[in-house]
Amino acid sequence: MAGYSLTRRGLMLVLSSPSGAGKTTVARALLETESDLKMSVSATTRAPRPGEKDGADYFFVTSDAFNGMVARGEFLEHARVFGNLYGTPRAAVERQLAAGRDVLFDIDWQGTQQLRETAPEDLVTIFILPPSLTELERRLRSRAQDSDDTVRHRMDRANSEMSHWAEYDYVFVNRDLAASIANVRTIMVAERLKRSRQVGMSEFVNAMRLDG
Amino acid sequence: MAGYSLTRRGLMLVLSSPSGAGKTTVARALLETESDLKMSVSATTRAPRPGEKDGADYFFVTSDAFNGMVARGEFLEHARVFGNLYGTPRAAVERQLAAGRDVLFDIDWQGTQQLRETAPEDLVTIFILPPSLTELERRLRSRAQDSDDTVRHRMDRANSEMSHWAEYDYVFVNRDLAASIANVRTIMVAERLKRSRQVGMSEFVNAMRLDG
């Protein structure tokens, strides 16, 4: 019975939601407590905002560099949003998964759809809904000094993002932040117990049955 | 936005394992803390053992009564084990599920296979493995004054039951009882958050988007 190592495949955990529904706060709380979980850092051609760090918030790259990565197949998914390019570099994700650790993705429905095509077996997708659009708008207005036009634009985008909730594996309404964090953690722990992710289980059971 | 009730479909949670792997203890602990979870009580033609209560441990019925229930399609699954008949009455399970509550099943791989055919969308199946067959045999010997023959017979059956682990959704090794109870609870809570079980979510999202 010696020498059988029970490990597991890492998860690609996708959190999507309209902006303002609490996704970023949930993600941050998870990353603080889950040592096996790392955030996927996207590459983007947009300019850094004040306080954003290259390599931590995003990899800030030129359009030429981005297109080179696309051409070499170095992205798991990529998309153009509001005129800027965004993409998930493949290598860092694959290293983390191969080590039996999990990767958290903060991407929209389009990115999720692409991941579904490139890596369906490792993917676990969660959609977080706001309690109401009124509440969503209140949150968007309270957190920024955006113009009415910008808020309206974000609300349109939220509305469109929400139309894709039914493409996700799990869905819940973020009424209470602590409960929402617990929900995502619970989903992650349960998904780790899926038979399909148990590496070495076949050998373990076979060895046990031969011994018996 | 008023009047949209978000409820959920109940789960049929199946725990299978070779006898002695800890399944019954795990089930009992769950039932104590989860008010939304009820044990499915099987009907059987075998005689009650000392201490067993009709309607709590089993519904003890005659072969004629059992066969009548089979003929009327009143079982979700039924099987013959060691010359006795066992079956899961359909009505009690369906009442519990319709109320958005969950049902726990302590059945073997054959029963699980039948449930997969009759009610696949509500089913969540978990296989609990012992740490080793030596440990399993030790547990079987310690809990009963069974003869060597009986223990050998149970070990054969355990071996055969274990050959079906790969047919289950989730699998883990019961090394630590508290961790195993937590595993099953986590799986149950996560499965309740699956999109496919959210009743009324479509109406909720649509109403929200029209309001916005």
pLDDT for B22 equals 84
Pick B170's closest partner by Cβ from A186, A194, A204.
A194
Which one, of B68, B145, B137, B82, lies nearest residue B110 by Cα? B82
Give me chain B's average pLDDT, please: 89
pLDDT for A197 equals 86
Does the pLDDT of residue A143 top 60, yes or no?
yes
Tell me, yes or no, if A77 comes closer than 8 A to chain B by beta carbon.
no
**DSSP assignment string, A18-48:** -TTSSHHHHHHHHHHH-TTEEEPPPEESSPP
- Which has more pLDDT, B151 or B145? B151
- Which has more pLDDT, A212 or B211? B211
Does the pLDDT of residue B144 top 70, yes or no?
no
pLDDT for B1 equals 47
Distance set, CA B2 to CA A132, A173, B40, B182 (Å): 11, 15, 36, 36
- Which has more pLDDT, A139 or A36? A36
Tell me, yes or no, if A172 comes closer than 8 A to chain B by beta carbon.
yes
* Structure confidence by residue, pLDDT tens digits, A109-121: 999 999 999 888 8
ipTM of this predicted structure: 0.86
Pick from A140-154, B105-119, B126-140: least confident: A140-154
Stretch B73-98: mean pLDDT:
92
Q: How far is B29 from chain A (nearest CA, A)?
A: 18
Beta strands in B17-146 (DSSP E): 37-39, 43-44, 59-60, 75-81, 84-89, 102-106, 123-129
pLDDT for B142 equals 79
Does the pLDDT of residue A211 top 80, yes or no?
no
The strand pair at B12-16 and B102-106 is best described as parallel
- B62: three-class secondary structure by DSSP: coil
Report, in this order, helix, strand and coil percent for chain B, each rounded to 5: 50, 25, 30
Give residue B153's pLDDT band: very low, low, confident or very high (50, 70, 90).
confident
Stretch B186-211: mean pLDDT:
87
Domain ranges of chain B: 7-40+101-211
CB contact under 8 A, A165 and B132: no
Residue B67's Cβ-count burial label (10 Å; 0-12, 13-18, 19+) is middle
pLDDT for B211 equals 61
CB contact under 8 A, A204 and B173: yes
Q: How far is A27 from chain B (nearest CA, A)?
A: 17
pLDDT above 90 covers a percentage of chain B that reads 61
pLDDT for B61 equals 97
Does the pLDDT of residue A22 top 90, yes or no?
no
Which one, of B188, B198, B26, B190, lies nearest residue B102 by Cα? B188
Give me chain A's average pLDDT, please: 89
Does the pLDDT of residue A151 top 60, yes or no?
yes
Can you tell me the distance from the alpha carbon of A61 to that of A86, in angstroms, rounded to the nearest whole number? Answer: 10
Give residue B123's pLDDT band: very low, low, confident or very high (50, 70, 90).
very high
User: Is this structure's pTM higher than 0.95?
Assistant: no
Which residue type, as a one-letter code, is found at position B3? G
Give residue A144's pLDDT band: very low, low, confident or very high (50, 70, 90).
low
pLDDT above 90 covers a percentage of chain A that reads 61
pLDDT above 70 covers a percentage of chain A that reads 94
Does the pLDDT of residue A58 top 50, yes or no?
yes
* Structure confidence by residue, pLDDT tens digits, A152-193: 888 888 888 999 999 999 999 999 999 999 999 999 999 999
Q: Give the number of beta-carbon pairs within 8 Å between A and B.
A: 105
Can you tell me the distance from the alpha carbon of B178 to that of B184, in angstroms, rounded to the nearest whole number? Answer: 10
- Give the CATH fold of the B7-40+101-211 domain: Rossmann fold (3.40.50)
Which one, of B58, B34, B29, lies nearest residue B46 by Cα? B58
pLDDT for B2 equals 47
Tell me, yes or no, if A193 comes closer than 8 A to chain B by beta carbon.
yes
